[in-house]
Structure 1
Amino acid sequence: MTENLTSIQTGLRSELRQLVRSQLKLLLEQGNLEGAKSLLIPVLPVDIAEAIEGLPESMQVIAFRLLSKAEAIEVYEHLDTTVQQALIQQFKQQEVLDIVDKMSPDDRVRLFDELPAKIVRRLLSQLSSGERQSTALLLGYEEGTAGRIMTPEYISLKENLTLAETLKRIRSLANASEVVYYLYVTDASRQLTGIVSLRDLVICEPETTLGEIMTRDVVCVHTDTDEVEVARMIQRYDLLALPVVDREQRLVGVVTVDDILDILQQEATKDIYAIGGLQSDGDNYFQTDLITVVRKRVLWLLVLLLTNTVTGTIIKTQTGIIEKMAILTAFIPLLTGTGGNVGAQSSTVVIRGLNTDEIRTIGSAKIIFREGLAGILLGVILGALAAFWAYFLLHANIAVAISVGISLIGIALLAAVAGSTLPFLFQSLGLDPALMSAPFITTAVDVLGVLIYFTIARMILNL
Structure 2
Amino acid sequence: MMNNQMQYEARPLVRAEDLVAQIMWRDPVVLPPKFRINEAIERVRQVGLPNEKMNHCYVVDEDCTLLGQLSLRELLLTRGGKRVEDVMERPFVTLQPSDDQELAAQMMQEYDLLELPVVDEHNRLVGVVTADDAMEVLQEEATEDMERMAAMVPSERPYLESPVRRIFLDRIPWLLLLMLSAAFTGGIIAHFEDALAAQVALTAFIPMLMDTGGNCGSQSSVTVIRGLSLGQVGFSDWLRVLWKETRISALCAAALAAVNFLRLLVMSHVGMGIALTVSLTLAVTVITSDLIGSALPIIAKRLGFDPAVMASPLITTVVDATSLLTYFWLASWLLGL
User: Normalised by the size of structure 2, how large is the TM-score?
Assistant: 0.90
Answer yes or no: is the 8 Å Cα contact 2:150–2:313 preserved in 1.
Answer: no
Give the secondary structure class of the aligned counterpart of 2:269. Answer: coil
1:389 aligns with 2:263: yes
Identify the residue that residue 367 of structure 1 maps to in structure 2.
Answer: 241
1:399 correspondence with 2:288: no
1:282 CA displacement: 5.6
Equivalent residues of 1:153, 1:177 under 8 A apart: no
Match of residue 422 from structure 1: 296
Q: Distance in 2 between matches of 1:411 and 1:378?
A: 11
Q: Are 1:183 and 1:195, in contact at CA under 8 Å, matched by a contact in 2?
A: yes
1:195 and 2:69 aligned: yes
- Please say if 1:154 is aligned against 2:42: no
The structure number with the bigger radius of gyration is: 1
The CA deviation at 1:153 is 2.5
Map residues 151-300 of structure 1 onto 2, 5 A cutoff.
151-174=25-48, 176=50, 180-281=54-155, 283-300=157-174
Q: Which residue of 2 aligns with 1:448?
A: 322
Assess if the C-alpha contact under 8 Å between 2:234 and 2:298 holds in 1: no
Tell me the secondary structure at the aligned position of residue 318 of structure 2. Answer: helix
Kindly tell me: are residues 391 and 142 of structure 1, through their superposed partners in 2, closer, same or farther at Cα, counting changes over 3 Å? same
Q: How many angstroms does 1:236 deviate by?
A: 2.1
Contact in 2 for aligned 1:266/1:283 (Cα 8 Å): no
Give the AA of the match of 1:221: L
Shift of 1:414: 1.1
- Write the distance in 2 (CA, Å) between the matches of 1:219 and 1:379: 44
Q: 1:166-222: CA deviations, max 9, x gaps?
A: 111111111655565101011111111111111111111111110111113443211
1:8 alignment partner in structure 2: none
Of 282, 305, 323 in structure 2, the residue corresponding to residue 431 of structure 1 is 305
Superposed CA deviations along residues 282-320 of structure 1, whole A, max 9, x for unmatched, are: 653443222222222222222221232211121111121
Displacement of 1:264 after TM fit? 0.6
Q: 1:426 to 1:356 in 2, by over 3 A?
A: same
Task: Report the CA distance between 1:437 and its aligned residue.
Answer: 3.4
- Partners of 1:266 and 1:180 in 2: how far apart? 22
CA distance in 1, matches of 2:157, 2:58: 34
C-alpha displacement at 1:239, in angstroms? Answer: 1.8
**In the TM superposition, what is the alpha-carbon distance from 1:393 to its structure 2 partner?**
2.0
CA distance in 2, matches of 1:361, 1:305: 31
After TM superposition, the runs of 4+ consecutive aligned structure 1 residues lying more than 3 A away are: 175-180, 281-287
Structure 1 residues 359 and 245, CA, compared in 2 at 3 Å: closer, same or farther? same
Ranked by relative contact order (alpha carbons within 8 Å, sequence separation 6 or more), the top structure is 2
Q: Matched residue of 2:121: which SS?
A: coil
Judge conservation of contact 2:116–2:128 (CA < 8 Å) in 1: yes
Secondary structure of the corresponding residue to residue 118 of structure 2: strand
Change (3 A) 1:318 1:156: same
State the one-letter code of the partner of 2:47.
L
Residues 1:247 and 1:169: Cα distance change in structure 2 (over 3 Å): same
Gapped regions of structure 1 (runs ≥ 5) = 1-140
Distance 1:189 1:179, change over 3 A: farther
**Equivalent of residue 144 in structure 1, options 18, 23, 28:** 18
Q: Match of 1:11? A: none
SS at match of 1:363: helix
CA spacing shift, 1:307–1:180, aligned 2, 3 Å: closer
Residue 106 of structure 2 aligns with an amino acid whose one-letter code is: R
Across the two proteins, how many residue pairs are aligned to each other? Answer: 323
The equivalent residue for 1:349 is 223
Query: For residues 36 and 51 of structure 2, what CA distance do their matches in structure 1 show?
Result: 20
Q: Are 2:333 and 1:459 equivalent residues in the alignment?
A: yes
Query: Contact 2:69/2:88 (CA < 8 Å) preserved in 1?
Result: yes
1:180–1:198 Cα contact (<8 Å) kept: no
Alignment RMSD: 1.9
Q: Partner amino acid for 2:94?
A: C
Cα distance, 1:331–1:176 mapped onto 2, change above 3 Å: closer
- Say which structure is richer in helix: 1
Alignment of 1:85-164 (within 5 A): 142-164=16-38
C-alpha displacement of 1:373: 2.2
- Residues 180 and 366 of structure 1: is their aligned pair in 2 closer, same or farther, counting only changes over 3 Å? closer
Q: CA deviation at 1:456?
A: 0.5
Percentage identity across paired residues of the two chains: 34
- Between the aligned partners of 2:336 and 2:16, the Cα distance in structure 1 is 63
Change (3 A) 1:174 1:266: same
User: 1:364–1:279: structure 2 CA closer, same or farther, 3 Å change rule?
Assistant: same
Cα distance change of structure 1 residues 369 and 283 upon mapping to structure 2, 3 Å threshold: farther
Residue 313 (structure 1) aligns with: 187
